[in-house]
Amino acid sequence: MTRFSILAFSTLLSSPTWALVPPDYHEPTNKFTAEVEAGFQLNTGNTDSTSFNGRTKMVYDTAKTTQEGTFKAYYAADSESTTSEKYDLQMQSNFKLKSGYVFGRGEFVWDKFGSYTDIYTISSGYGFDAVSTGRTKLSLEVGPGYRYNLPIATEDEPNPSSETDVILRTAAKFEQKIHEYTTFNADLTAEVGENNNTVTLDMGYKNTLFQDWAFKVGFYVKYTEIVPEGSKQTDTITTFNLLYTFQ
């Protein structure tokens, strides 16, 4: 091999076009994250009872859209019968604009022992980040929607009729990173309709234990203005869960 050939070959090997990371390379903008949490309690002796709650949240974030889905399950039973059984599926799709985003959202609740056993809500609207810093984020949303409710059966009303309502939904989603290992979240939602009004507060305090594992305390409260006779207006759920994050 001539000296010219050796020099040309060496030049090609040292060229940026052969580098493992090209100069104009950028990390992909797509980002997928998921959270799975669960809590279980078993009591024996003077009181025999079992309770379970679980939650799975998935987020797929791109430069133009954000897809988010959350599924929650709650179950409790004593030695004689089931005392609580509830499932909640939430889905939201955001299309990003230069300022804020437009969204479509659906929430479907099946609550065997709730004042309303079936609640289906579909809404759309506009949202934006009122505050967005490294540690603090506050998003606000507003838009119209449609809600379907099926009241729980009672002795006076064994076959209740379903209720439908056009609503205005407003929401505030707050996240505060207290420090590197601790995060506080609070989502406040109000649905105002011609026939009924609801207010929901969903809070969570998460503390990382090690790597992707964390301990989470959750508090959920929902107020419904008009409920079937014999039902309570306010429902609350408190959870203590172990959480794992995929990212």
116-140: pLDDT as tens digits: 999 999 999 999 999 999 899 999 9
pLDDT at 26: 52
Segment 141-197, tens digit of pLDDT:
999 999 999 999 988 888 999 999 999 999 999 999 998 899 999 999 999 999 999
**Residue 44 pLDDT > 80, yes or no?**
no
DSSP-derived 3-state class of residue 12: helix
pLDDT band at 18 (very low <50, low <70, confident <90, very high): very low
Domain boundaries, the chain: 29-246
- Asked whether the whole model's pTM tops 0.75, one would answer yes
Nearest CA to 222 out of 82, 83, 72 is that of 72
What fold, for 29-246?
Porin (2.40.160)
Cα separation, 156 vs 116, whole angstroms = 15
Which of 36-45, 60-69, 232-241 has the least mean pLDDT? 36-45
Average pLDDT, the chain: 89
Contact 73, 57 (CB under 8 A): no
- Cβ neighbors of 234 (< 8 A, separation 6 or more) are 221, 222, 223, 224
Residue whose pair of structure tokens reads 């172990």 in the numeric block: 242
**Residue 203 pLDDT > 60, yes or no?**
yes
pLDDT band at 70 (very low <50, low <70, confident <90, very high): very high
Q: What's the 3-state SS for 28-50?
A: CCCEEEEEEEEEEEEECCCCCEE
Cα separation, 123 vs 142, whole angstroms = 9
